[in-house]
Amino acid sequence: MADRVLITTDDLENAVRINAALEQAGLDTAMVSSLDDVRQAVSGKEPAAIVLSGGLHETTAKRLLAAARDHAVSTLGLVEPTEDDPNEIGRELGLTDWLVKPVDPAEVTATVRRLIERRRLQQRTGILGESSAIQEVLVKIEQMAPVTSTVLIEGESGTGKELVARAIHDLSPRRGKAFIAVNCAAITETLLESELFGHEKGAFTGAAERRLGRFELANGGTIFLDEVAEMPPATQVKLLRVLEDRTFFRVGGTQPIQVDVRVIAATNKSLKDAVGLGTFRDDLFYRLNVLSIYLPPLRERRSDIPLLVRTFTAEFGKTHDKQFKGITPEAMQILVDADWPGNVRQLRNLIESMVVLAPQGEIKPSDIPPEIRDRVRTMPVRITAPGGGREATGQELEFIFRTLIELKMQLEDLRRRINDRPERVEVIEVGGGSEGRQIEPRSFDAQDPLAPSTQPLPPVIYKPGMTMSDVEKAAIDAALRETHGNRRKAAETLGIGERTLYRKLKEYAID
């Protein structure tokens, strides 16, 4: 089926010429004269691209551009030659691409084709974003995929480094072979070497069998070295050797092993700074940095946020089987203005938790956690490990986010139960004096100061700086208060086993 392209008629002469050229190129075209026309055309069969023939500063053009961005439809603007700086205008209006008039219909056709290809690429790779930064990244991915040169991907945590690495592999001739990811920060120095290069039987205590390393497993494919800045110096030397002649020795081995592996490395710290600090070899830096991609943080490409929010909301609505209406404009504005220290990962996780928890099937400002709403900068999560504190890796952050979502779901459930609780409560006292005495059930008034509180308990709030243990402890405390110390019920409320609760009580010294 031919791709659909809409052409606005603000500059009728150009619109007609372009329409004819695109039609001749086999595209399914339609000329549209108003925003309503576009809306109708979009709702019928979503266009792959829209050509704005003129009137770029009109309000209708701006609204059309906003709608196109939200639906991930590419836009090509024809800019008047009288504009001072066409590039500035193109960027300011958020056009995907632009050409300065007078335009050659053949050039417009070629550009439209390229935009359609790019859109297809986004659908294939899952890399969303109409900002020029993301468009540049996509162009680089296309250029880098067919070759075997090493790629270095830099960007803050959660900006999509692994997504980009996978896209390069998936578009490369190696796509049929393995893509193997190794997180250099998550494995101890001694294990990392055998993990990467394998070991021979008896190479060290516990090496009962020969084991192939990740480089051998990735033969013919791609190895993704994540958090490469954390690689210990001894392993850096070995990696340098592999990059130089694609050979290495298994730990305890004497035979050189030759592999055909493409290396993609990623880091959320500046590798150049690490070289300056003397923690990363400069020769290795140059070997890795043959081709490079920088992923800017989300706060520097805020125009991509609405598209990401809409896509994630629809995706999680489906996953959690929820009839989800979407998000109110006020809530969207808050998300667009937020700082997002955890970038797309943080946004994605937050949307999932809001889709699960938003009471009316729609995200409203009150559903957004205060730390996002108030634009409080959250500090990077610090994990204390032997040898001093370090920043949490992406995977650890992912785990913390997941656990927080689960806890939030449990707490929400808890809050609902507390709110649904009747005003009068019946309790049966046990023990408390004469052994074996039969105790009558006693009913007592909620106003009785000695009675357990029937007031809704304050929600357990996560504050920056709290550890997972703090959050868990607060949740357990709340559950025990709610069940008046009944551990079986508390465990049930928390959705964990009684034994797990006992273990945690001991661990946190709660009695």
Residues near Mg ion (CB under 5 A) are 162, 394
What secondary structure, in 3-state letters, does 184-223 show? CCCCCHHHHHHHHHEECCCCCCCCCCCEECHHHHCCCCEE
Q: List binders of ligand ATP among 127-146 (CB under 6 A).
A: 127-129, 134
Give the shortest CB-394-to-Mg ion separation in angstroms. Answer: 4
Query: Cβ closer to Mg ion: 198 or 394?
Result: 394
Q: Which does 163 bind (CB under 5 to 8 A by kind): ligand ATP, Mg ion, none?
A: ligand ATP
The entry of Mg ion, ligand ATP, none near residue 90 (CB within 5 to 8 angstroms by kind) is: none
Write the CB contacts of 408 (distance below 8 Å, at least 6 apart in sequence).
Answer: 353, 357
The residue number with the shortest CB distance to ligand ATP is: 394
161 near ligand ATP (CB under 6 A) = yes
Of 156 and 367, the one with the shorter C-beta distance to Mg ion is: 156
Q: Tell whether residue 355 is a contact of ligand ATP (CB under 6 A).
A: no
Pick the binder of ligand ATP from 86, 155, 297, 306 (CB under 6 A).
Answer: 155
C-alpha distances (whole Å) from 75 to each of 57, 100, 181 are 15, 14, 35
Q: Return the range that interacts with ligand ATP (CB under 6 A); candidates 47-55, 152-160, 275-283, 378-386.
A: 152-160
Angle formed at CA 30 by CA 24 and CA 31, multiple of 5 degrees: 110
Residue number, 157 or 313, with CB nearest to Mg ion: 157
By CB under 6 A, residue 228 contacts ligand ATP:
no
> Binding ligand ATP by CB under 6 A: which of 31, 35, 133, 163?
163
Q: How far is the CB of 402 from ligand ATP (least distance, A)?
A: 12
CA distance 166 to 146: 13
In the window 99-128, what residues touch ligand ATP (CB under 6 A)?
126-128
Residue among 116 and 351 whose Cβ is closer to ligand ATP: 351
d(CA 290, CA 307): 32
**Cβ proximity to ligand ATP, 48 vs 128, nearer residue:** 128
Dump the DSSP string for 381-428: PEEEETTEEEEPPHHHHHHHHHHHHHHHHHHHHHHHHHHT--SSEEE-
Looking only at the bridges linking them, the beta strands covering 97-100 and 247-248 are unpaired
| Residues 6+ positions from 228 with CB-CB distance below 8 Å | 152, 184, 265, 266, 267, 271, 288
Residue labelled with tokens 């920056």: 464
Residue 155 vs 221, nearer CB to ligand ATP: 155
**CB half-sphere exposure, 117, CA atoms < 13 A:** 11
Which residues, including other chains, have CB under 8 Å from residue 123's CB and lie 6 or more apart?
Answer: none
**Which listed range, 100-108, 156-164, 318-326, 448-456, lies at the site for ligand ATP (CB under 6 A)?**
156-164
Closest distance between ligand ATP and the C-beta of residue 220, in Å?
23
Q: Which long-range contacts (CB under 8 A, 24 or more apart) does 186-191 make?
A: 186/227, 186/393, 186/395, 186/396, 189/232, 189/234, 189/235
Q: Which does residue 129 bind out of Mg ion, ligand ATP, none, counting CB within 5 to 8 angstroms by kind?
A: ligand ATP
Distance between CA atoms of residues 42 and 68, nearest Å: 9
Q: CB of 128: closest distance to ligand ATP in angstroms? A: 4
Which option in ligand ATP, Mg ion, none does residue 268 bind, with CB closer than 5 to 8 A by kind?
ligand ATP
Q: Does 54 bind ligand ATP (CB under 6 A)?
A: no
Q: How far is the CB of 385 from Mg ion (least distance, A)?
A: 19
- Whole-number minimum distance, CB 445 to ligand ATP, in Å? 52
Among 14, 75, 157, 313, binds ligand ATP (CB under 6 A): 157
| DSSP letters for 274-299 | HHHHTSS-HHHHHHHTTEEEEE--GG
| Interface residue with ligand ATP, options 262, 281, 345, 504 (CB under 6 A) | 345
Distance, CA of 228 to CA of 266 (rounded, Å)? 6
| Contact flag: residue 158 with ligand ATP (CB under 6 A) | yes
Greatest Cα pair distance in the chain: 100
**In this structure, which amino acid lies at residue 339?**
D
Q: Is 265 helix (H, G, I), strand (E, B) or coil?
A: strand
Shortest distance, CB of residue 340 to ligand ATP, whole angstroms?
Answer: 11
Contacts of ligand ATP in 381-440 (CB under 6 A): 394
Name the minimum Å distance from CB 425 to ligand ATP. 45
Q: Which is nearer to ligand ATP, 111 or 268 (CB)?
A: 268
By beta-carbon proximity to ligand ATP, the closer residue of 213 and 342 is: 342
The structure tokens 């896509």 sit at 311
Residue 268 interacts with ligand ATP (CB under 6 A)? yes
Phi/psi of residue 283, nearest 5 degrees: -65, -35
Which residues, in sequence order, are CB contacts of 145 under 8 Å at separation 6+? 167, 168, 171, 172
CA dist 154 and 291 (Å) reads 11
Residues lying near ligand ATP in the complex (CB under 6 A) are found at: 126-129, 134, 155, 157-163, 268, 344-345, 348, 394
